[in-house]
Amino acid sequence: MKNTVFTGAATAIVTPMTKEGVDYVTYERLIEWQISSGIDAIVAAGTTGEGPTLTDEEHRELLKFTVDKVNGRVPVIAGTGSNDISYAVDLSKYACEIGADALLVVTPYYNKATQNGLIRSFTDIADASTKPVILYNVPSRTGCNILPETCSVLADHPNICAIKEASGNISQIAKTAQLTEGRLDIYSGNDDQIVPVLSLGGKGVISVLSNLLPAETSEMCHSYMRGDVEKSRRMQLDYLDLVDALFCEVNPIPVKAAMAAMGYGEDYLRLPLTPMEDKHRENLYALMRKAGLNI
């Protein structure tokens, strides 16, 4: 059995920005708050962290800053995926060198791949890595789906330890769990499916919601693992409307608005992303207040 990178909730952390670049003062405050709130891991430069619009220099600087500031207190998972596999290999090597605890590698987007292409691509990245690799399946964004049978093949690689499953297809996730049991950890990639994925043997969630509610999202996972399924189920349903609001526009548009309202930086995104529409913003804020957030 491969070592599990984390159990519970990992925050797919936002990258606070201004028009001048990454706001590291705010980012450090956010990291400290996440850790003090009991988050189980941090994912840097993923989708929610606007990894695709970071320059190569910014991407590397952000990963190193995160590793240095976290300083071993929780695992740091570096987003190193790309549609250019040679670039993903180079970035993955760098993340390993600076001390990231694991890599999160998305399927190639736009140019996509066959299942054979996915196997070869992930294998090349995993071969180059000295740290555990978490596959990231999010076909709504990439146009590319990792099939359960492909997961089963990849699970035999000693460095491929887990998958972040954001397909939304519970039947597919169940099949992946069946074919890879004991060889590949599964994390929910959707905040509205945390408990369903846990019920299939999942280890937790890589979460957007936990940017706002790190303690609560972690508790949702750990209460289930302690056997308090009813509490976990209740929390899943209680936060469902807030989760829907966080995804009513393309992620990370809503969560950037939410974090700005909480005092964590500007509501600034890089094109093609634009600030949240007013008609959605007020509903999001109302649901945040309902969840007990002081904004």
* Closest-CA residue to 46 (of 87, 1, 89, 77): 77
Would you say 146 and 163 are in contact if contact means Cβ atoms under 8 Å apart? yes
Assess contact for 41 and 77: CB atoms under 8 A.
yes
Dihedral (CA of 78, 84, 89, 91) sign: negative
Task: Please list, in sequence order, all residues whose beta carbon lies within 8 angstroms of the beta carbon of residue 140, skipping any fewer than 6 positions away.
Answer: 166, 167, 168
Q: How far apart are CA 202 and CA 195, in angstroms?
A: 9
Residue 1, pLDDT score: 61
* In the chain, where the domains are located: 8-228
Distance of alpha carbon 209 from alpha carbon 191, whole angstroms: 7
Residue entry with tokens 């349903």: 237
Amino acid at 147: L
- What b/e sequence results for 112-128 when a residue is b if at least 16 CB atoms lie within 10 Å of its CB, and e otherwise? ebeeeebbebbbebbeb
Confidence at residue 2, expressed as pLDDT on a 0 to 100 scale: 81
CATH of 8-228, one of 3.20.20.70, 3.30.70.2740, 3.20.20.80, 3.30.479.30: 3.20.20.70
How far apart CA 292 and CA 239 sit, in angstroms, is 11
pLDDT at residue 225 in the model: 98
H helix or E strand, kind and range, residue 191: none
In the beta sheet, which residues pair with residue 106?
A: 136
Note if 131 is an active site residue.
no
Nearest to 192 by CA among 239, 231, 145: 239
3-state SS, residue 133: strand
User: Closest Cα to residue 162, out of 7, 24, 11, 293?
Assistant: 7
Distances (CA, A) of 85 to 94, 105, 204, 237, 265: 14, 10, 27, 39, 33
Please identify which of the residues 131, 164, 203, 256 carries the catalytic annotation. 164
Q: What is the pLDDT along the chain (295 residues), one digit of tens a residue?
A: 689 999 999 999 999 999 999 999 999 999 999 999 999 999 999 999 999 999 999 999 999 999 999 999 999 999 999 999 999 999 999 999 999 999 999 999 999 999 999 999 999 999 999 999 999 999 999 999 999 999 999 999 999 999 999 999 999 999 999 999 999 999 999 999 999 999 999 999 999 999 999 999 999 999 999 999 999 999 999 999 999 999 999 999 999 999 999 999 999 999 999 999 999 999 999 999 999 999 9
Nearest to 9 by CA among 181, 234, 212, 258: 212
Active site residue 164: yes
Which one from 27, 64, 136, 239 is the annotated catalytic residue? 136
Opening angle at CA 291, ends 290 and 293, nearest 5: 95
Indicate the pTM of the whole model. 0.97
The reported pLDDT for the residue numbered 158 is: 97
- Residue 75 contacts residue 101 (beta carbons within 8 Å): yes
